[in-house]
Amino acid sequence: MAGRDYYQILGVDRNASEKDIKQAYRRLARKHHPDVNPGDKSAEARFKEINGAYEVLSNPEKRRKYDQFGEQWEHADQFGEAGREGRVRWDFGKGGTVFEYGDMGDVFSSLFGDSGIRSRTAGGSQRGQDIESAVDVTLEEAYHGSARVMQLQTEEPCTACGGTGMVGNRICAMCGGTGVKVIPRRLEVKIPAGVRNGSRIRIAGEGGPGRGRGSKGDLYLVVKVLPHRLFELKGEDLYTEVSVPLATAMLGGEVMVPSLDGNLSLKVPPETQNSRVFRLAGKGMPRVGGSGQGNLFAKVKVVLPTGLSDEERKLFERLRSLRPA
């Protein structure tokens, strides 16, 4: 913008208030934004020029320096330092600089409905942001795989105002001046078997909208596997407890172990101690992609009998006499 007057670019005089400058910028930005003028290089160049002028004049400190030093305002500190120390050092090596206007997000948000925007004005199109969203799944859903129906909102340029937010001199009634229309829709997402806590499921092209002709970003679902009343998940392995009657623990026998595929038969050897852990190979969580499964670990919980009959009590007394402590 060498040789151009920033006030002239925005169409305001040098005594313009901050409010006047912002209003002028909003009006010009709507008119020349690349999304409103796709493929129009002159509009894109004008938009960059408007942004550059606004960045300076909307900042009180930068505006003060510009009013004093003109287009060399960026070197105002060097000029002052040179005056104090008697030296000058200029560096104009700014070829191809890309400006990021992080301090104008509130303006763009009100114009184009884009929250948290950082507009990269020195480029053409820009890919949309990737979005992350948490999704809770039960252990059964993580084991077998499942599906989720997501309620999404798609933003498209408002056809009534061409994305400008204005119809003539009035705010567009269809979009409320945002320049976009919101279209709710449903998206069915498949959750593969074997997902773990922290697994990320990518849904291509369902993220934030791109700028200009940029493609949309992706949507990532971050999985949280909910706690289960019977099983504890550790990596690809499952842990559970199995109740074993005292007589079975002492004499041996079979008990049923719960699993996510139904009950499994476990042969308990004689004299099995309480808290002993048995490994059931390949009965844990499946690996994503179908490359095998983890293991299921069953911890023995010996169940002592209650409500003893007279005969049972006599038998335990007999056992105690044979095996004194």
**Residue 206 is assigned to a structural domain of this protein:** yes
Mean pLDDT over 69-88 rounds to: 52
254 Cβ partners below 8 Å, 6+ apart? 248, 265, 266, 267, 268
Residue-wise pLDDT tens digits, 244-256: 999 999 999 999 9
Tell me the pLDDT tens digit for each residue of 295-321.
999 999 999 999 999 999 999 999 999
Does residue 86 lie in a domain region?
no
- Using the predicted structure, report yes or no on whether residue 93 has a pLDDT greater than 60: no
**Angle in degrees, CA 56, 57, 61, rounded to 5:** 70
Q: Are 102 and 192 in contact (CB under 8 A)?
A: no
Domain that holds residue 18: 6-58+93-112
| Phi, psi of 60, rounded to the nearest 5 degrees | -55, -40
Place of tokens 């940029």: 214
Q: Does the residue 73 lie in any domain?
A: no
CA distances from 150 to 6, 184, 286 (A): 47, 10, 25
Residue 169 included in any domain: yes
Which of 176, 198, 225 lies at the terminal end of a domain, its last residue? 225
Concatenating the DSSP letter of every residue in 213-225 gives TPPP--EEEEEEE
Q: Last residue of some domain: 188, 208, 225?
A: 225
Closest CA to 149 of 201, 184, 190, 188: 188
Q: What pLDDT is stored for residue 95 in this prediction?
A: 27
DSSP-derived pairing of the beta strands 219-225 and 131-137:
parallel
d(CA 90, CA 79): 9
Same domain, 204 and 287: no
- As a whole number of angstroms, the distance between CA 184 and CA 205 comes to 16
At which of 202, 225, 248 does a domain end? 225
215 and 251 both lie in a single domain: no
| Residue at 72 is within a domain | no
What whole-number distance in Å separates Cα of residue 67 and Cα of residue 6? Answer: 10
Confidence (pLDDT) at 75: 62
Q: Same domain for 137 and 213?
A: yes
Helix axes 41-57, 18-32, angle to 10 degrees: 160
pLDDT, tens only, 266-286: 999 999 999 999 999 999 999
Residue 64 pLDDT > 80, yes or no? yes
Domain CATH number, residue 175 = 2.60.260.20
Q: Is residue 123 part of a domain?
A: no
Residue 120 in domain: no
Instruction: Name the pairing type of β-strands 200-203 and 219-225.
Output: antiparallel
Compute the distance between CA of residue 255 and CA of residue 248 in angstroms, rounded to an integer: 8
pLDDT-wise least confident of 7-16, 102-111, 175-184, 210-219: 102-111
pLDDT band at 78 (very low <50, low <70, confident <90, very high): low
Please give the full DSSP string across 82-103, using - where no structure is assigned: HHHHS--------TT---B-GG
Q: 124 in a domain, yes or no?
A: no
Total Cβ atoms within 10 A of residue 155 = 17
Are both 212 and 237 inside the same structural domain?
no
Region 85-96 average pLDDT: 28
Confidence at residue 151, expressed as pLDDT on a 0 to 100 scale:
79
How far apart CA 41 and CA 158 sit, in angstroms, is 22
Q: What is the CA radius of gyration of the chain?
A: 35
The domain that holds 30 is classified in CATH as 1.10.287.110
pLDDT at residue 94 is higher than 80:
no
Total number of domains in the chain? 3
> Which stretch of 93-97, 158-162, 167-171, 313-317 has the lowest confidence by average pLDDT?
93-97
- Give, as one character, the DSSP assignment of residue 202: E
| Residue-level pLDDT at 85 | 35
Cα–Cα distance, 142 to 225 (Å, whole number): 7
Residues 95-145 have pLDDT tens digits of: 222 222 233 333 333 334 443 334 334 445 788 888 888 889 999 999 999
